[in-house]
Chains A and B, each alone.
Chain A
């Protein structure tokens, strides 16, 4: 095992493959995470305020989430006219998945903000837009972060499927390893995917702590 490890990482071309795929994987999973979140926030807000939009948005996100990733990777170029082997397809597909996954938590989190807090903010002179950014959104963060964590894990695992249409970050290690009958390389790909998911998850938890200082303050006063 250790021997195999040394042999695999001893080869400069393998190291290059792993580092290159890893960076591509990071880009292909995190950019959609951010874009999807930015898309889900206004959609969730709209769904919260307009009942008719709510059913539509939730229904649409359900359907989007149901479509298998490979099918989406293939259909997007046909719909928007990008080349089949372009990384934009993967980015758009995962952005859609992220948004579909996050609309519900955004909506739930916004609905859960206590009415008296909103009333207090209004009484203090917050206009609607600022109240949303400064009061409602921060209070929604805990629920939101839970959703973002699920979306990040799911994105990181889905990127690899893109390897079947030529863009897949660490997924390249799987297709290449399968063609060459090289089990160890597939193992390396899986290990790095899990590691990446874990690291991003820890990072998200750290960000969450920074964003919700009151949660810790509450724990201290309760103790």
Chain B
């Protein structure tokens, strides 16, 4: 079994051409990055607004949970039947499923900014806009990145499923293997998807470490190691 998978993975034929591993992997990556980016463009400002003003918080929590319960295969098949077969409807499904994680991460990030920090900023005479940009957003960054990471995991998985409605990528390789009962190909594609997911998650974790200001990290460490022990 393992021998067959290794044989599939090392067969040069599977690594060339438009259906080959590198092309499908790039395509998969492209779908994921594009849909998470679009979702972030929608969800981050909305989350910032709701977190900053407190307006619509019930909506975010309620709808966020409902969307999390949505079956991804159902959403993707529904959208494709509704909007027509093609890349765009399938990608729209990915965006829809990526939004709640980023939205609730951003919202929670802003909400969890220590009140003392915001008060101190106000006391120093910072305007609402300055507080948002200089205090609230930097403090919220770890949770925003957390939201982006879980959105990315969701999207990598859903992009695999979306091969069922005609999207390319590694899911295509997997389902093509299923169609001809080629277990080695399915398992190889599954391993590649899993690797892609783990690597993407690690990259985002690294980005998060690079972008979160040092002061925020230090503050989190001191509260974590504080006398309350947690």
Question: Can you offer 19 A-B residue contacts whose CB atoms are under 8 A?
Answer: A69-B157, A69-B161, A70-B157, A71-B157, A72-B190, A74-B190, A78-B2, A111-B230, A112-B230, A153-B65, A156-B71, A157-B72, A164-B175, A164-B178, A171-B73, A181-B81, A186-B74, A187-B78, A194-B66
B156 at interface, CB cutoff 8 A: yes
A163 at interface, CB cutoff 8 A: yes
Other-chain contact of B78, A70, A163, A171, A183 (Cβ < 8 Å)? A183
What's the Cα separation between A181 and B87 when bound, in Å? 18
Nearest CB to that of A160 among chain B residues? B71
Other-chain contact of A66, B70, B164, B198 (Cβ < 8 Å)? B198
* Beta-carbon contact of A75 and B190 below 8 Å: yes
* Beta-carbon contact of A153 and B183 below 8 Å: no
* Beta-carbon contact of B161 and A164 below 8 Å: yes
- B79-90 CB mask vs A (1 if < 8 Å, else 0) is 011100000000
Within 8 Å CB of A181, what residues of B?
81
- Known contacts A112-B230, A183-B81; A68/B157 CB under 8 A: yes
Other-chain contact of A157, B68, B81, B171, B183 (Cβ < 8 Å)? B68
What's the Cα separation between A173 and B78 when bound, in Å? 11
Within 8 Å CB of A65, what residues of B?
153
What's the Cα separation between A67 and B153 when bound, in Å? 8
* Beta-carbon contact of B187 and A74 below 8 Å: yes
* Beta-carbon contact of B156 and A68 below 8 Å: yes
What's the Cα separation between A161 and B164 when bound, in Å? 10
B46 at interface, CB cutoff 8 A: no
Within 8 Å CB of B178, what residues of A?
164-165
Q: Which of B71, B153, B160, B165 has the most CB of A within 10 A?
A: B71
B25 at interface, CB cutoff 8 A: no
Within 8 Å CB of A193, what residues of B?
69-71, 74
* Beta-carbon contact of B191 and A71 below 8 Å: yes
Closest CB-CB distance, A149 to chain B, in whole Å? 9
Other contacts beyond A157-B68, A194-B70: 4, CB < 8 A: A71-B160, A74-B174, A164-B164, A178-B164
For B, the interface residue count at a CB cutoff of 8 angstroms equals: 42
A106 at interface, CB cutoff 8 A: no
* Beta-carbon contact of A174 and B81 below 8 Å: no
Closest CB-CB distance, B104 to chain A, in whole Å? 12
- B35-77 CB mask vs A (1 if < 8 Å, else 0) is 0000000000000000000000000000001101111111101
B186 at interface, CB cutoff 8 A: yes
A residues at B contact (CB < 8 Å): 63, 65-72, 74-75, 78, 84, 108, 111-112, 153-154, 156-157, 159-161, 163-165, 168, 170-171, 173-175, 177-178, 181, 183, 186-187, 189-190, 193-194, 197-198
- Known contacts A174-B71, A178-B165; A75/B191 CB under 8 A: yes
B194 at interface, CB cutoff 8 A: yes
Q: Which of A68, A78, A156, A187 has the most CB of B within 10 A?
A: A68
B121 at interface, CB cutoff 8 A: no
B201 at interface, CB cutoff 8 A: yes
Within 8 Å CB of A177, what residues of B?
77, 81
Nearest CB to that of B150 among chain A residues? A65
B1 at interface, CB cutoff 8 A: yes
* Beta-carbon contact of A190 and B70 below 8 Å: yes
B5 at interface, CB cutoff 8 A: yes
Closest CB-CB distance, A116 to chain B, in whole Å? 12
B126 at interface, CB cutoff 8 A: no
What's the Cα separation between A154 and B80 when bound, in Å? 23
- Known contacts A68-B197, A71-B193; A189/B153 CB under 8 A: no
Nearest CB to that of A74 among chain B residues? B190
Nearest CB to that of A196 among chain B residues? B69
Closest CB-CB distance, A141 to chain B, in whole Å? 17
Closest CB-CB distance, A180 to chain B, in whole Å? 10
7 interchain residue pairs of minimum CB distance: A68-B157, A71-B190, A160-B71, A197-B69, A178-B77, A74-B190, A190-B74
- Known contacts A66-B201, A71-B191, A74-B186; A190/B75 CB under 8 A: yes
